[in-house]
């Protein structure tokens, strides 16, 4: 059974969603366990099987609670908050799941689930805001200094709402863009690049670029690394954008 779980997780890591789905299903035929349900839910999420996603993750949540695994239960609660908003548009229910996750994590030592909750809650709070050039963008910062995590690099999570397309941006900093969820395309110096989850894009400094979410129903999430802090040290960071009329405006 452990081999089945390992097979499913390895298939997820390779992006083989159907293979992962079948591996977790095989495990669950022998033993209904929350870690296998969690894997099944993730595979179903990539396959856009909404009914399976909710059923598997709700059952995984209950299974982790029964085991006394607060981290696992909180992880499922955060996923269910996102699912409820993305698939069903039920904002109040989504907020309820986030509150459950907060209560489960309260008082527990630092763990990835704390960051998972904070990033999702931050994105959720900004869904009605955003910027035409940046969409919804949250920078990871050092909690002790309020500055970038590294002196020469900073990291962002950028969320493109369903069907959203950003206005063009040009900056002196170079970017590495790693889509984590969703699919879409980016235009870099006039050339279009299609992307899916776990692809990678490089945006050289000085290039005009824009991002577009190709899914009309679900958000797309990008992780971005930038050498902006190094350039700021030498007062070399500059940023421009084009407005809706196509005119260039200074952003930073």
Give tens-digit pLDDT for 60-114: 999 999 999 999 999 999 999 988 887 787 878 888 999 999 999 999 999 999 9
Are residues 90 and 9 part of one domain?
Answer: yes
Q: Per the domain annotation, does 89 fall within a domain?
A: yes
Are residues 59 and 100 part of one domain?
Answer: yes
Q: What is the CATH number of the domain that holds 239?
A: 2.60.120.10
Q: Look at residue 243 in the predicted model and tell me its pLDDT.
A: 92
pTM: 0.70
Q: Look at residue 127 in the predicted model and tell me its pLDDT.
A: 67
| Residue whose entry in the numeric block shows the structure tokens 């945006």 | 203
Q: What is the extent of the structural domain holding 54?
A: 2-126
The yes-or-no verdict on residue 128 having pLDDT over 80 is: no
The yes-or-no verdict on residue 226 having pLDDT over 80 is: yes
Residue at a domain's end among 66, 99, 126: 126
CA end-to-end span of the chain: 55
Percentage of the chain modeled with pLDDT above 90: 72
Q: Per the domain annotation, does 117 fall within a domain?
A: yes
Are residues 168 and 55 part of one domain?
Answer: no
DSSP per-residue string spanning 112-170: HHHHHHHHHHHHHHHTT--BTTTBEEEEEB-TTTSSBSSSS-EEEEEEEPTT-BPPPEE
Q: What is the SS3 assignment for 181?
A: strand
Residue at a domain's end among 108, 126, 144: 126
Mean pLDDT in the chain?
92
The yes-or-no verdict on residue 129 having pLDDT over 80 is: no
Are residues 155 and 98 part of one domain?
Answer: no
Residue at a domain's end among 91, 126, 161: 126
The yes-or-no verdict on residue 156 having pLDDT over 70 is: yes
Q: Per the domain annotation, does 152 fall within a domain?
A: yes
Are residues 93 and 140 part of one domain?
Answer: no
Q: How far apart are CA 60 and CA 77, in angstroms?
A: 10
Q: What is the CATH number of the domain that holds 10?
A: 1.25.40.10
Q: Per the domain annotation, does 131 fall within a domain?
A: no
The yes-or-no verdict on residue 11 having pLDDT over 90 is: yes
Domains contained in the chain, number = 2
CA-closest candidate to residue 224, choices 137, 112, 117, 166: 137
Q: Per the domain annotation, does 35 fall within a domain?
A: yes
Q: Per the domain annotation, does 65 fall within a domain?
A: yes
Q: Indicate the pairing of strand 169-171 with strand 184-188.
A: unpaired
Q: Per the domain annotation, does 206 fall within a domain?
A: yes
């Amino acid at each position: 059974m452990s081999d089945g779980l390992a097979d499913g997780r390895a298939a997820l890591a390779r992006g083989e969603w159907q293979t992962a789905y079948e591996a977790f299903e095989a495990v669950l035929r022998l033993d209904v366990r929350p870690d296998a349900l969690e894997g099944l839910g993730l595979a179903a999420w990539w396959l856009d099987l909404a009914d399976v996603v909710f059923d598997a993750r709700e059952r995984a949540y209950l299974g982790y609670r029964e085991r006394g695994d607060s981290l696992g239960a909180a992880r499922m609660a955060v996923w269910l908050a996102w699912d409820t908003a993305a698939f069903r548009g039920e904002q109040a229910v989504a907020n309820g799941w986030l509150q459950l996750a907060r209560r489960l994590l309260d008082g527990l030592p630092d763990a990835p689930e704390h960051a998972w909750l904070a990033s999702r809650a931050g994105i959720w709070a900004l869904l009605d805001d955003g910027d035409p050039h940046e969409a919804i963008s949250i920078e990871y910062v050092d909690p002790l200094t309020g500055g970038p995590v590294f002196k020469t690099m900073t990291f962002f999570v950028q969320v493109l709402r369903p069907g959203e397309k950003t206005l063009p941006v040009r900056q002196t900093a170079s970017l590495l863009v790693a889509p984590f969820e969703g699919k879409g395309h980016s235009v870099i110096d006039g050339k279009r690049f299609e992307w899916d989850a776990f692809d990678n894009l490089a945006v050289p400094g000085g290039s005009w670029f824009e991002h577009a979410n190709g899914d009309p129903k679900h958000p797309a999430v990008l992780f971005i690394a930038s050498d902006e802090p190094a350039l700021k040290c030498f007062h070399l960071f500059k940023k421009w954008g084009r407005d809706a009329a196509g005119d260039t405006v200074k952003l930073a």
